[in-house]
Chain A
Amino acid sequence: MSPDCLMRNIDITEGRNKTRAIDTVLNELSQRFGERLKTGMAIREQHGRDESFHKGHPPDCVVAVHSTDEVQQIVRLCALHKIPLIPWGQGTSLEGQVAALHGGVCVDLSEMNAVLCVNADDLDVVVQPGVTRRQLNEYLRDTGLFFPIDPGADASIGGMASTRASGTNAVRYGTMRDSVLNLTAVLANGEIIKTAHRARKSSAGYDLTRLFVGAEGTLGIITELTVRLYGRPQAQSSAQCTFDSIRDAVDTVIETIQYGIPLASIELMDSLTVKAINAYSKLSLPEKPMLIMEFHGTDAGVQEQAQMVQEIASGHNGSEFSWTSDAAEQKKLWRARHDAAYAIKALRTDGQLWATDACVPISRMAECIEQTLDDIDQSKIIAPVLGHVGDGNFHLCMLVDHAVPEEVASAQALHERMIQRAIDMDGTCTGEHGIGYGKRDFLKQELGGAVDVMRSIKQALDPDNIMNPGKIV
């Protein structure tokens, strides 16, 4: 028998064993979960795909769970038969984190969506992972508190923790890394752990909370979390300002941050993004590089902050600075910013959105974006750039037609050059979207040997590689 045939036979045998194992698991799950187990193709495909450009992979089944104990039962069953488990919240990830690359069981946590306990005086809340960020803020409306982390999508808190999400407010309130105080997770061996108490800082052992936040479900399935809340600011205002160049806008941001002006958000849009949101949200903003900012504080405080920023911006050729404390006007502006992805999609009807991100030290940001914009011009891809400029994090939103291989190749090359540029500038291949399976090669490129350490941790916690296999490491 030739080596090829031998390999194929082994594959076939393994495949048969796997088939038997998944059948056994499906059978058991069906008995335990009845109609909460779904195996229809449409629902499997929907649960194997996120909002990214990356190809979806359907799991073998989807199980809607209602408790940590149920998750534990499923994990134990899958561990016994070495079947992969993929946690699912809202499916809004952006690097293929939910794709069932090796089949397996999708653990749908979206029905575990109870707000368990608001501790108003401690400024925290205990939630189940399926609670979405809008649902949580709606729940908190009468408490005077809010949960500030705002990725564009109405993501689940569990998913946001798993991908270490952030958003426009990160410059003031941090990211999920700072927000999660503790979490409960089911590990690959079925063990349930709680990483810390609700104490702000627990001096008991390693900071395991941080290890699970951003692990993309590869170390365990998060089934409960305590997250930090903030008092609603007494006053809120917004400002916008246009610039002749990206560099002027970025220099304004650098100086603003250096003065310690506590901005809640500071967002940069290139002229193409402004054009897109003008068309989509029916605005008439000047189509030039633009900063939009949000200030939180007291009435006097937000006014003082805005005046200081205006003064700084004018030193960097900023023009058409406008400031408002009118709630409706602010809502309109920020809604337009949050809808930017849809606005960008609408720039091209025959293309799909490939949104990617990178993060660089802020002093290199202008240079990195300018070089990327030049590169976009050369590549002929339509690709607006926008970003959370206060953190050095920016997004490249490429509009690409899947059906045209040359276009996909050109976008891929543009993407690779942008990531390489960011890494060369001491930055990272992702500041916000995560690794999933879309950026695994870039992770190696960026971290080298450190990926081996990550792999050894994955191996130590999940020796059979059943927890969301094929992601991160």
Chain B
Amino acid sequence: MGSLRTLNWSDFKIMNDKQYSALVERVNSAYRSGQALNICGASSKTFYGGLPDGIALPVGENRGVIDYDPAELVIVARAGTSLSEIQTLLAAQGQMLGFEPPFIDQGATLGGAVASGLAGACRPYRGGVRDYLLGVKIINGKGQIAQFGGRVMKNVAGFDLFRPMAGAMGTLGVLLEISLRVIPVQEQQQSFEFNTSNQKNAINTLCALAKQLPSLSAGGWLEGKLQLRLSGSQLAVSRDTNLLAQSNSLSEIDALRWQTVSQFEHPFFTQPDIDKARPQNSICSIDLAPATPPVDLPGEQLIDWGGARRYLKTELDIKAVRQSIEKLGGSVSLLKGGERSAFFHPLNPGMMSLHQRLKKSFDPKGIFNPGRLYPGL
């Protein structure tokens, strides 16, 4: 075994909160006037969620790694730091971001990755961004700086107010600093596909393999092919590959499949209809318990996240899709073709009221990213 890979990153260590005074002043002034602010990092995900509204509050300049000790497997960076910069820094130490954030190639920032809560193909096996989040520092809607969580792996000191930041679409505060757990790069990674014509069999197989293959790190299905990725030690990957090959004829596939799906750039999302006369398709992203049987709705489907996510390209009205999926205990986001205000699955009145109370505690005048998550939030 080699020696401990310790590096001294104390050069990165900062400072006090004075550096944020310009941002704090912008928020303060918005608080006084009630002016809505549209928090902008790299703007790589403006298509995602409700339509941005308000005056731009650029935060991309708030960049830089604050602390990274590879021995600790923790990185602390300012929210405007690009994911590619973080990825390069981690890769040099044989480490990576465990949740495979999308849009790295488009300049996406760490803050945007947390705010959107988007995760890659590993989501059901290794967790999403919230599972790696250890703490955040934010500016709340009154222009006050607060820190929740920190750099430790386990923390039960008070309410967990940093995990709800993941997926809040920037509506609870301006993210300033983020600390994340990182993971060692997997020794080996391979992606395969094999024929599974029937969607029901595909779902059953994906659920069974989740229990049998310790190295399974992605699983999906499209057009009669079950697609899998194995990651881990050489021993683990070769053992699991052999196990799969015993009953299936495996062909290796390009690992890009996983990224193009999580960035909605796979031909499934981008190819126009062959029949141009048909009305514009809408594309829905459906979240379900993974073993839920095939969704019986008209249109094309792509399965990801081991069955826990189903993408549906359909001519059906979004309300009808949501009604059907609610009966299955799931929720639907409308990725394309419909009102942006109805992007995320609607909340029932009780939950909406709870959301509003939480929002008000962080942002009493509703100045941050209004409407990006839900109208009125």
Q: C-beta contact mask, A433-458 vs B, less than 8 Å → 1, else 0? A: 11100010011001101111110111
Interfacial residues of chain B within 121-163, with CB under 8 A of chain A in the complex = 123-124, 127-128, 130-131, 140, 144-148, 150-161, 163
Choice from B74, B156, B187, B235 contacting A163 with Cβ under 8 Å: B156
Contact check, A427 vs B150: say whether CB atoms are below 8 A apart: yes
With a cutoff of 8 Å between Cβ atoms, the chain B residues found around residue A174 in the complex are: 131
Residue of A nearest to B286 (CB): A199
Choice from B72, B147, B148 contacting A362 with Cβ under 8 Å: B72
Choice from A447, A458, A461 contacting B354 with Cβ under 8 Å: A461
CA distance in complex: A214, B287 (Å):
25
Chain A nearest Cβ from B171, distance in angstroms: 8
CA distance in complex: A427, B123 (Å):
28
Contact check, B159 vs A207: say whether CB atoms are below 8 A apart: no
Q: C-beta contact mask, A248-269 vs B, less than 8 Å → 1, else 0? A: 0001001101111010000000
A13 on the interface (CB 8 Å rule)? Answer: no
Contact check, B69 vs A363: say whether CB atoms are below 8 A apart: yes
Contact check, B1 vs A453: say whether CB atoms are below 8 A apart: no
With a cutoff of 8 Å between Cβ atoms, the chain B residues found around residue A24 in the complex are: none
With a cutoff of 8 Å between Cβ atoms, the chain A residues found around residue B153 in the complex are: 170, 359, 362, 390-393, 431
Contact check, B235 vs A304: say whether CB atoms are below 8 A apart: yes
Chain B nearest Cβ from A472, distance in angstroms: 6
Contact check, B69 vs A360: say whether CB atoms are below 8 A apart: no
A-B contacts, 19 listed (Cβ < 8 Å): A121-B207, A121-B290, A201-B123, A205-B373, A214-B159, A258-B71, A260-B233, A298-B214, A359-B152, A362-B153, A363-B72, A427-B150, A431-B154, A431-B156, A435-B156, A450-B146, A450-B148, A459-B361, A473-B158
With A193-B351, A200-B308, A363-B72 known as contacts, the answer to whether A119 contacts B289 (CB < 8 A) is yes
With A359-B152, A428-B157, A457-B358 known as contacts, the answer to whether A205 contacts B235 (CB < 8 A) is no
Interface residues of A (CB under 8 A from B): 119, 121-124, 144, 163-164, 166, 170, 174-175, 177-178, 187, 191-193, 195, 197-208, 210-211, 213-215, 219, 231, 251, 254-255, 257-260, 262, 297-298, 300-301, 304, 308, 311-312, 315, 359-363, 388, 390-393, 426-435, 439, 442-443, 446-447, 449-454, 456-461, 472-473
Contact check, B345 vs A257: say whether CB atoms are below 8 A apart: no
Of B50-58, B249-257, B325-333, the one touching chain A: B325-333
Choice from A202, A431, A449, A457 contacting B287 with Cβ under 8 Å: A202
With a cutoff of 8 Å between Cβ atoms, the chain B residues found around residue A262 in the complex are: 214
Chain A nearest Cβ from B92, distance in angstroms: 14
Interfacial residues of chain B within 242-297, with CB under 8 A of chain A in the complex = 285, 287-292
B89 on the interface (CB 8 Å rule)? Answer: no
B26 on the interface (CB 8 Å rule)? Answer: no
Choice from B71, B207, B287, B360 contacting A254 with Cβ under 8 Å: B71
B194 on the interface (CB 8 Å rule)? Answer: no
With a cutoff of 8 Å between Cβ atoms, the chain A residues found around residue B214 in the complex are: 262, 297-298, 301
Other A-B pairs, 14, CB within 8 Å; known A121-B207, A391-B152: A122-B291, A187-B354, A191-B353, A193-B350, A193-B354, A199-B331, A200-B123, A206-B358, A304-B235, A361-B74, A393-B154, A439-B157, A450-B146, A459-B361
